[in-house]
Structure 1
Amino acid sequence: MNGILLNEQLKAFLSEDIGSGDATGEAIFQGEEVTASIIAKQPGVFAGRVVLERLYSLLDPRVEVNALIDDGQKVFPKERIATITGPAHSILSGERVLLNLLQRMSGIATMTNSAVEALADEAIRLCDTRKTTPGLRMFEKEAVRAGGGFNHRRGLDDAIMLKENHIAACGSITEAVRRIKAGLGPMMKIEVETTNEAEVIEAVEVGVDVIMFDNASPDEVKQYRSLVPSPIVTEASGGMTMATLPDYAGTSVDYISLGFLTHSTKALDFSMLVQKEAISW
């Protein structure tokens, strides 16, 4: 995760929530020191240690965070995830932003881990898509990795991917690829989305690097995969659910990309509890 971008995002999130100041904290606290714990309320897979360790350093360097778990580890109800010690005002001012991010990231890590287990095919890598929450892509893709998945492209600038509408606008896969290769440097790969056997054959003939089989059934994926030479990477995507994912095991596709890992995930519930005896009034 890009450290500079991480800091910028966290500062923006804190600014959004705190605004010109935490009115409640400023009204009742006078420098009290407390210890708080982050507690899991549901079983799942944890993600967000970098957020846990970075957020309070930006808000108040006096706050000390002791993370008790790593990304990718399973958590259980009532398990302590971390202890946080420092000024009560600062700890509670950052509470909601911290919990929101940990809950969102851990929910995605849990969903990803469940998908990996449902597929049960180590030869196929599960990856995310760009169907992420605006402003949270960096965090959500980090969470996918914590859950045992892999990242597809992070944005429009790090790979060329010809989708259905690009191809329709150019007239054909062949013409779209011709235009790209006319000005493409040697470091950029080309992926093409295909929807039928003819398009798969066309993509192979024009020499792309990655071919996606879009909305293909398991039998179709096997059929299309047999048409693709081994140097070309293959991907299946579209229309899959957690229930149908196991049907794609053994299809020999290299990757399966799943939008629901990020766009349909429920947050994993955490809470912050202050140890009352640690407060000195």
Structure 2
Amino acid sequence: MSSFSDFSPESLHAQVLLDVARALQEDVGGGDLTAALVPPARRARARVLAREAAVICGAPWVDAALRAMDPGVRITWHVAEGQRCAPDQVVLQAEGEARALLSAERTALNFLQLLSAVATKTATYVQAVQGTRARIVDTRKTIPGLRLAQKYAVRTGGGTNHRIGLHDAVLIKENHIAAAGGVTAVLRAAQQVAARAQFIEIEVETLAQLQEALDAGARMVLLDNMPLPMLHEAVRLNAGRAILEISGGVTLESVRALADTGVDRISIGALTKDVKATDFSMRLQELP
């Protein structure tokens, strides 16, 4: 799988099922000992409430967790995927077997709280650069095993996915340049895998490296930890020849000034790495 932009619904569904199966095995294992205290025929209605404002994300994972425990569960979303919810708003209602709802609760909420947090943070950054040409881009700094889920959340929040992994694109960094013998040499070597890569990007730290990369035919350049004056000069020097991306230490306070330099992309590891889960809770009511 290379990106969510070319995911078929079937491929996305398959990934969701894998994620949910792994999470339920981790949590439920051989059986929910506490839920077994509830009579097996008892039915219930569950309401999921948002305790804070957020961009809702993770519905495919929540639905899959609930249906894995009760295939006949009835699920009604009151806030659509990608839409904002308000504090104390009911975002979801489900009716089904009480035992199943109880067993699926934590897995469903774990996906919802993580992915909504990523989507919400992404949307905040996207809003901060509105009106500029810069797109907000994610990185590979993700929770192991949940990269595709988190990158889905970035897209739901209005962001753009960078490469999914080492297998689908080339990002040449400082160590690659040193090991390969310099900027020009490493870019020439990269052409050997160009047909299999979505893109080839090279990281530079100085204006001299940027000029060398441009002279060697670079079409995508990552400007690493450059101060604002240098970024402005880099954009002028580039003159539209390559896609320019900023990376390194980007914060919500600094992102607008960075976007105003005229770069094309700003990659932010904090979208998926430094995430505070959105607060949701589930409340059950027995059905007659």
Which range, TM-score by smaller chain?
A: over 0.9
1:69 maps to 2:79:
yes
Amino acid at match of 2:138: D
Kindly report which structure 2 residues correspond to 1:1-281, keeping only aligned pairs within 5 A, or say none.
2-182=12-192, 184-185=194-195, 188-276=198-286, 278=287, 280=288
Relative to structure 2, which stretch is displaced further, 206-215 or 118-127?
A: 118-127
TM-score (structure 2 length as normaliser): 0.91
Contact 1:37 1:84 in 2 (8 A): yes
Change in CA separation of 1:162 and 1:100 when aligned onto 2, cut-off 3 Å: same
Contact 1:120 1:249 in 2 (8 A): no
State the shift of 1:265 in Å.
Answer: 1.4
Give the distance between the partners of 1:21 and 1:176, measured in 2 at CA.
54
Amino acid at match of 2:23: F
Contact 1:105 1:139 in 2 (8 A): yes
Percent of matched pairs sharing the same residue:
35
Give the distance between the partners of 1:12 and 1:149, measured in 2 at CA.
27
State the shift of 1:53 in Å.
Answer: 2.5
Unaligned runs of 5+ in 2: 5-11
Give the distance between the partners of 1:119 and 1:20, measured in 2 at CA.
48
Change in CA separation of 1:183 and 1:146 when aligned onto 2, cut-off 3 Å: closer
Change in CA separation of 1:190 and 1:249 when aligned onto 2, cut-off 3 Å: closer
State the shift of 1:120 in Å.
Answer: 3.2
Contact 2:16 2:60 in 1 (8 A): no
Contact 1:194 1:213 in 2 (8 A): yes
Amino acid at match of 1:80: V
Unaligned runs of 5+ in 1: none
Relative to structure 2, which stretch is displaced further, 34-43 or 222-231?
A: 222-231
State the shift of 1:57 in Å.
Answer: 2.4
Relative to structure 2, which stretch is displaced further, 189-198 or 201-210?
A: 201-210
State the shift of 1:187 in Å.
Answer: 5.7
Give the distance between the partners of 1:186 and 1:22, measured in 2 at CA.
46
